[in-house]
Structures are given as C-alpha cells and as structure tokens.
Structure 1
Amino acid sequence: MFRSFITKFLQTLLVLLIVSIAAFWFLKMAPGDPVTMLLGSEFSPQAYAKLTHELGLDQPVHVQYIQWLERFVRGDWGISYVTRDNIFKQAVLQALPVTLSLTALSLLLALLIGIPAGMLAALYRGKFVDMAVSSLSVIGSAFPSFYLGILLIWVFGVALGWFPTMGFVRPWDDLLSGLHHLALPAITLASYYAGLIAITTRSSLIEVLEQPFIKAVRARGEPMWRVICIHAMRNVMMPLVTVIGLQLGGLLRGAVMTEVVFAIPGLGMMITTAVLSREYGVVQAGVMLTALFFVLVNLLVDQTYEFLDPRLRLRR
C-alpha cells in the first residue's frame, strides 16, 4: 500500500514537472514579450534593456525556468505586471474557487441529466426514447460550447431576460444569486458531458442487462427498479467513473472558453487575459493549477475503482 502511494506520488511529480517545462517553453516561443506590453508603443532601447534586466528576461531560458521553479516550489509565485497583485492570491484564492464552482455545478447537471437519460435509452432500446436520447446526446457532444453559450445568452438572457448575460456572484456569499448567474454557463459546459455520460450509460447498461446474473435476479422475482438501480448500475459505474475522470480535464478546458463568453473571473479568464498581456508567471500558475487538478482527479478515480469493485482490494 505504501509502495503504491509512493509510486503514484512520484508519477504525479513527474507529470507536473513535464507540464511545467512544456508550458514554460511554449510561452517563451510565443510572439511578443511583456516588456513591450508594459512600455507601450514608444520607448527607448535603454528603457527596454533596463526593464528586461529587471524582469530577468535577458537570461537563458533554462536559467529563467530554474529560477521560476525554485520560487514556485517555495510558494513565491511573483507579482502580476498588470494588476500588481500577488499571483498566488490571484490564482488560488480568487480565480480557482470560481472555476471549481462552475465545474462542480456543470458536472452535477451533466450527471443528473446524462445518467437518467442513458438509463431510459437502454430500457427502451430501439424505440423513440432511445432515438431521441441518442440524437440529443450526439448534438450536445458536437455543439461548440462557445457557440451554444452565445445562443443561450441571446435567447434566455437578452430576448427573454430570465438570466444575467455575464458576471459572477460568489455562491458562498449569496447562494440563490450565485446559482442564477452560473445557470447559463453551467448549462453550456454541461451539454457536452451530459451527452457523453448518457451514451456511456446506455451502452454499458445494455451490455450488463444481457449478463446471466441479471436474468437470475429477474427470475427471483425482484422488481425492475431494483434490478436496474441496485444490480445493473453497480456494474455500470466502473466505465462511467472512468469516462467522468478522463473527461473532467476536458471540463476545465471547456471552462476557459465558457468563462470568456460569460465574463466569469475564473482560471480561464485569468489565463486568457494573461496570454494577451504576455504575463508568463500568471499563465504558468494557471496551467500548473489545471494540471494539478487533473492529476488529483485521476488519482481519486483510481482509488474509486477499489471501492466499486471489491476484487481489486483483494489483490493487494
């Protein structure tokens, strides 16, 4: 058990190290630099050289990376060039809770819609319900999130006036107002994953319902709801949890565009603004937080397997 934990911990560190190197390298390859953004359109070569030296951008890339990594590990993430705020405070205390709120609500909506829809499609296989759920799942999975967000803003925000079109209210300050502001972004983000969950639930449940143990359970005279919810869905949870865990990183990627469309001050908006301003430190912090969240989710999914399938615990 301890050896397994150490192995996974070292793998996590290796993944984060590779992500940090790749992100840092690609940022340096991007056109433009923060010095030009800070100085404006007119500046002297002396001012450019002075500011470049003060920011440490005149050193080799590998030296810049090592210095950044040392400060990052110590918790010194630097100061934003634009807002003059501490990057750790800006990313972890301000932007991250916003993105996690949007992601959690989107995932909850996707589960509440996708699992029942997939169950209905499996139970009424080949009928109108199955065709409707399958068609809507494909449409939801194929629809670009940014385009869907604009449509929802136009219909429900502008034309009908039911929901605010942009902005964010923290749910932990005002729950009802926060959920009201997050409704359209959460629906936008959940549409793809609800379709994916519905398709996965349908295909897995159809396969499980054809297994001999299900026929044995039905032969004992147990009610259909118990056959589905207790016996069949327990075996569907393994592939479903796998899909949810693997796609949760995609949920964060989708949150970037969704936050920009709805002007939500989360990690996506922070990274987008920082890229436009060439704020390498802010972008790197956002990328590392996203990678860390993705790795932790996959570790959690790995532990969930043992809870869902007791046979995996017996092998240890």
Structure 2
Amino acid sequence: MLRYAAARIAYTVPVLIGVSLMSFAVIHLIPGDIVSVLAGPTVAPDSEAAQNIRHALHLDQSLPLQYGLWLIGALHGDFGNSLVMGLPVGPQIASHLPVTLILTAMSLVIAILIGLPGGVIAARSRGRWPDLAIRGVALLGLSTPPFFVGVAAVLLLSIYLPSFKTLGAVDLHRDPLGGLQTLLLPAFVLSLASATTIMRYTRAAMLEVLAEPYMATARAKGAGRVRVLIKHGLRNALLPVVTAVGVSAAHLIAGAVVVEQVFGLPGVGQLMLNAIYHRDYTQVQATVLVVTTLVVLINVVIDLSYYVLDPRIQQHG
C-alpha cells in the first residue's frame, strides 16, 4: 500500500511543474503591462519611474530566470509578494482557502446524497416513470449553467424567504453555523451538475450489475430487495461511482470560481479572478498552483481508493 501510494504521489511532481510552467507562460502572454497599472496612465512605459518599478519586481529579467526564481521560492513555501498589494501571497491564499474547501466539501456531500440514491432508483426502475423522471431532471441539471441557477435562487429566496442569508461575507471562526448557512445555497447550486454526473454513472454501473447471474442467485436465496441492491449491487458497482465522485470533486473546485462570484463569497476563486483582472502575475501563479495541487491530490485519493476496492490492483500493484 505504501509503495503504491508513494508511486502515485511521485507521478504528481512533473504534473505540478508542467502546470506551473504552462500557467506562467499563459499569464505572460496576456496583453497589457502590470507596470502601467501600478504606475498609472500618466507614466510612460519607458520612463525612469516605470523602469524602477520593473526592476523592483524583477520584471526586467528574462522569463526563464523569472520562472526559476519563482519556482525555487515556491518549493520553499515562499510564493512571493503580490504585485498589486505588496503583501505575501501565501497568507492571502490561506485566508481564502477554507471557504473554497468547505464549499467544495458541502457540494460533494450534497451531490453524493442526490446522485447515488437517484442512480440506484433509476436503474431499479429502468424504463418506468421513476427512471424517466430522474433522467429528465438529471439532463436539466446538467444543461443549466450554475451562474443562472445561482442568480435565480438568490432572486427567489430574496422575495419569498428574505430571512435566509444568501449573499455576503462568511466568518467561519466567529459564527460557524451562520457561515455554513450562508454556504448552503451556493453548495446546492454548485452540486447540481456533479449530482447528475454521479447519478448517470451509478445508473449505468447498476444496470450492468443487475444483469449479473449472482444477483438472481441472491434473490433466489430469499435476500430482501434492499439488501440485494445495496450489498450485492451497489457494492460491486462502486468503482465507476468512485471515478464519478473524483471527477466531480475536481469539477467542483473549478466551478467554485463562478459560484463564489455569484454569491460574493471570499474564496480562492474570487481571489484569482481579482488577480487576473489586475494582472497580478504572482497571485495568479500561486493560486493556480494551489488549485492544481488540490485536484492532483484528489486524483491520488481516487487511485488509492481503487487499490482498496479492487483486489486485482492489490495483486498487480
């Protein structure tokens, strides 16, 4: 197990370096100059003041050298200072990260609670009205953009349930319950697409399992319907479902960027969008690396769950 986990973690290192290199290149291809933003419109790009700013931020050095200096600092836990605010990037990300993590975790739990039973029920009633209704709702949830659902939900709750807090800052330290209440609606909106994905994977996997001979054998032995579905059916259909959960978790982290903007949540997504708007290269680079690390860690956890659930991987791993 430890050897398998170490191998999977080792594979993540080149992925993180590659993503950081690509994000660094893309950021510097964006039109505009951060020096012009900092110096103001009245300062010429080739003036002495602009050159001093460029030198202070190490922007007068070659791009490979800039990336190398940033990478060395990142490996030591130093992501540098924000080009706009002048503050260390690490503490800013650390202060915004809990909101994004809790939002993503709540969304994933809601998606599993909706998608897993929905997929089992749809497979059990294949071709009948529960199956058709669940598949129709899943298609609607998959095709509706989260920002549209979010705006519509905020408007409806503001009119019909004004006491329910839908927008504003989240203080999880002073008021944990109030913070979780504020995150409940964004988490539900964010979870819809993932719930439909889990539902479809669960339904497809359960349909294959229900057609297996051992399911008929379990029913012939007198096992109850629920016991057959859960113990013999869902248990053997978990691998594709785990894949769906892992893919959904990665998508939730990316989708949190939009949802945080709609609901005004102080998460990593909002921090990154503000940094992109102000061309804060250091902030964007560090935020992309942190988000990528989260996605890669999710993939590692999924791989380790395969090892636990599938004995064939244990034999050949």
TM-score by length of 1: 0.95
Aligned equivalents of 2:2, 2:204: Cα separation in 1: 37
| Alpha-carbon distance in 2 for matches of 1:136, 1:88 | 41
Q: Which residue of 2 aligns with 1:34?
A: 34
| 8 Å contact kept, 1:163–1:184 | no
Q: Could you tell me which residue of structure 2 aligns to residue 72 of structure 1?
A: 74
Write the letter of the residue equivalent to 1:86: P
Q: Distance in 2 between matches of 1:112 and 1:122?
A: 16
Q: Is the 1:158–1:165 contact (alpha carbons within 8 Å) kept by the matching residues of 2? A: no
Counterpart check, 1:219 vs 2:217: no
Q: Which stretch shows the higher mean deviation, 18-27 or 168-177?
A: 168-177
Correspondence 1:4-43 to 2 at 5 A: 4-43=4-43
**Same amino acid, percent of matched pairs:** 37
Partner of 1:274, secondary structure, is: helix
The correspondence of residues 234-273 of structure 1 with structure 2, limited to 5 A, is 234-273=235-274
What is the CA-CA distance between 1:4 and the residue it aligns to? 4.0
**Cα distance, 1:157 vs structure 2:** 2.9
Matched residues, number: 315
Superposition CA RMSD, Å:
1.6
Q: Which runs of no fewer than 5 residues in structure 2 stay unpaired? A: none
* C-alpha separation in 1, matches of 2:183 and 2:6: 39
Aligned to 1:58: 60
Opposite residue 47 of structure 1, the aligned amino acid is A
Please state how far the C-alpha of 1:241 moved relative to its aligned partner: 0.4
Q: Give 1:82 shift.
A: 3.2
> What amino acid does structure 2 have at the position aligned with 1:66?
G
For residue 22 of structure 1, give the secondary structure of its aligned residue in structure 2.
helix
Q: Which residue of 1 aligns with 2:276?
A: 275
Partner amino acid for 1:27?
Answer: I
Taking structure 2 as the reference length, the TM-score comes to 0.95
Task: Find the residue that maps to 1:84 and give its secondary structure.
Answer: coil
Amino acid at match of 2:144: F
Whether the 8 Å CA contact 2:170–2:265 is kept in 1: the answer is no
- One-letter code of the match for 1:90? Q
Match of 2:83 in 1: 81
**1:1-316 map, 5 Å:** 4-44=4-44, 45-91=47-93, 93-316=94-317
User: Aligned equivalents of 2:39 and 2:111: distance in 1?
Assistant: 46
Letter matched to residue 217 of structure 2: A
Distance 1:164 1:311, change over 3 A: same
Q: Is the 1:145–1:258 Cα contact (8 Å) retained in structure 2? A: yes
Deviations 1:248-298 (A, max 9, x none): 221111001111111111110010000011111111111101111111111
Per-residue CA distance 1:24-44 (angstroms, 9 max, x = gap): 000000011221111122114
Write the distance in 2 (CA, Å) between the matches of 1:158 and 1:54. 51
Instruction: Check the 8 A contact 2:150/2:189 in 1, yes or no.
Output: yes
Q: Is the 8 A contact 2:122 2:135 kept in 1?
A: yes
Looking at structure 1, the residues matched to 12 and 263 of structure 2 have their Cα atoms a distance apart, in angstroms, of 33
Which ranges of structure 1 fall in alignment gaps of 5 or more residues?
none
Q: 1-side partners of 2:248 and 2:188: how far apart?
A: 16
